[in-house]
Structure 1
């Protein structure tokens, strides 16, 4: 077992800080180290370091010090770790006497919210829940028989799912059905809260555009679900919208086709059996409105009367 001098020499840190790491590490057993490895994974530049056998808490603390995530001036992470793995006594007896504030729920987190979510789910997972979760992952083809035997707890399961890309910081969709089979409202709420708080929101402008794409025209609500299936109707629909505003629709640049007039439009509509009578009625009103702007009813509207 390494003493404080070994820690001090290895990480090139002060004696007081080495004593702090030694004291904390000495109070952490195998289960604590398993939790520590999961929580501190993102603080490892060399991820393979955590795969070493007989790794102790002191080893992990020293490695994080080497990587610059721990120092005598930056020990808040130690307080959060101690709190999360249930070593609150160490907070009170080891950290607080050295002026290190005790970490509590709601305090600024040094660990990512993604890791915190998975750790919370792990804490709420019972043995029977783990069996269901493992079987679910196995049925989905994410766990081989050999993998199932290596899963000791939910942390092992989550780590495997992360490694194969099934869950990630911005994609926890796999977790929802996984937690549903457990039937825990507490765990479901934790997943939902993370999704609502930390995942990107849908673009509202995109949603609005999708809604508009579902309708044609917009002058008459009856046609909100009308689909254009004929080129003549497509042209007529576009012209219909513009006529209501006293304008005609021009074709694409370079086109030599003349502007469509209401009379031309009515003829097109008469030849198209997919256009409803109500559509023609709206067209008639539009043509009348255009005639009124000229001071008298237009010949086009009269022609439309005779055809309808």
Structure 2
């Protein structure tokens, strides 16, 4: 039986939940919030009254659950509503995001001699694309950002056996402040890492691309690994990078390595010897797989290959 004391208690609890909801969601009480407050209050009161009358034992657990949910929200747990409203969890269309799996190719292949890359290295079990070789607008076959089969040097080479465009697993552009729980778009001028994964001692390991005399894959450590993407048509552009958009890549100075722009040599190796944007090689960043919260895009699925 519902007593007046129980009724007052439920109404007070519903009012407290309504107030806490406003505080947690960082809302200020305004005319536009009256309807929202009324809905929260009436729904909470109806639930608690119903449970109090028909299932008193469950009512106590429900009150604790409401408190737990509000507490999680106040400590940073986003919840379903925040995923709908918060830009950190909403992906914009046609924008490159930190952690996206990409294929990097070059539309300007006239100065890049195709190296003898041989057969693709033996694989264990990353997302290497097996799309047939693409061609530039002029009909020249594209070359792809990949590891030289005889060293860790990065080259721009033709597709490998089977039409595999790169032997670098999970190749991606990552913001230096990459957060696996947040979707972060990449803008021109951002400081980024170029990363990939590899099979190291039978483990799926994240590694860096670094600059030395040439670009090198399969690197670890904190130095020589920060790069900047720039718009070749507008060096001061700070807008979002779009998949498939031509970019130039420069490295930041680190240790004894000076800053410079990436250029593809006649041996297909990449150095930072270009004097500026106009002398740098252009690269296309094609989207293979979008980043997923928790970096789930880095897992190795059944049909994927993790290269050494």
By percentage of residues, which structure has more helix? 1
Is the strand fraction higher in 1 or 2? 2
The reply to whether TM is greater than 0.5 is no
State which structure, 1 or 2, has the greater radius of gyration over its C-alpha atoms.
1
Larger relative contact order (CA 8 Å, sep ≥ 6): 2
TM-score, L = length of structure 2: 0.28
